[in-house]
Amino acid sequence: MAHELICGESRLTVVPERGGLISGWQWRGQEILYLDRDRFANPDLSVRGGIPILFPICGNLPNNEFIYEDQKYSLKQHGFARDLPWQVQDHQGNSIVLRLGDTEATRGVYPFEFDLEFTYTLGTDSLGLELRITNPGERPLPFSLGLHPYFAVQEKEQLTFNLPINGMVDQKTQRPLTFAGGFDWAAPELDLACRPLLGHRARVSDRQRGYHLDLNFSPEFTTLVFWTLHGKDYYCLEPWTAPRNALNSGVDLIHLPPQASMVLQVELHLSAI
């Protein structure tokens, strides 16, 4: 069942049972997010569109495997949070609170207790996401967390970028690249991990659609991933707390102590050009 948040003329659609997904965001008569409705209609497929949640990993693992205490576990790309039903804890007007906890099934692929409580708050020109992670267990909770927003675009050549980066790595080839303010739109696929970050604010301006999009995020997000496919009417600008394979490599992996909580913030703000 979809839940709608309203603030002035802005609308936000949230589908808790499909991974806590934000599936739509209308602002000044425009749909800001892309959604592949055919995939969305098939519960056997991961959603391509909206704002999927990435937990307990971002990206993929080699052979989809990690080792913990000499035991091998299997986790598919981006983890399981985007595929599981979340519970609605509260929904009032322009705000909704969703929760996801560990189960016997999640512990079979990721042997840790966790509690996620995400609050989405819609403003007239903004969308705020408060991401609370709690470790109710007796041992440290290793994880990475990210968001995978799909932003709708009609003419990619009309996009301009102000990103807090100097360089990036092609995630397919691991080839380092420099960032000169734009991207090669003729490429079949762009899958770029931007790190280290020089700040925690990014701006994309869509001259064709007439707005600036500002993305602000907590310092714990160490990586921005830019992803798009040629011929598709979307681009993704994804804040991740760690790069791919962090559960194995340990790079930027968060270890939340037992009985502790942490809160991460992401805010999206829209303004007319």
CATH number for 192:
2.70.98.10
Amino acid of residue 179: F
Residue 40: the pLDDT is: 86
Residue 73: the pLDDT is: 97
- Domain assignment of residue 67, given as a range: 3-272
Residue 45: the pLDDT is: 82
| Chain-centroid distance, C-alpha 181 | 22
Q: Would you say 20 and 120 are in contact if contact means Cβ atoms under 8 Å apart?
A: no
Q: Would you say 168 and 223 are in contact if contact means Cβ atoms under 8 Å apart?
A: no
- Which H or E run contains 73? strand 71-74
Domains of the chain: total? 1
Residue 125: the pLDDT is: 98
Q: Per residue of the chain (273 residues), give pLDDT as tens.
A: 899 999 999 999 999 999 999 999 999 999 999 999 888 888 888 889 999 999 999 999 999 999 999 999 999 999 999 999 999 999 998 999 999 999 999 999 999 999 999 999 999 999 999 999 999 999 999 999 999 999 999 999 999 999 999 889 999 899 999 988 889 999 999 999 999 999 999 999 999 999 999 999 999 999 999 999 999 999 999 999 999 999 999 999 999 999 999 999 999 999 999
End-to-end CA distance of the chain: 35
Among 197, 234, 236, CA closest to 217:
197
Residue 98: the pLDDT is: 98
Residue 217: the pLDDT is: 98
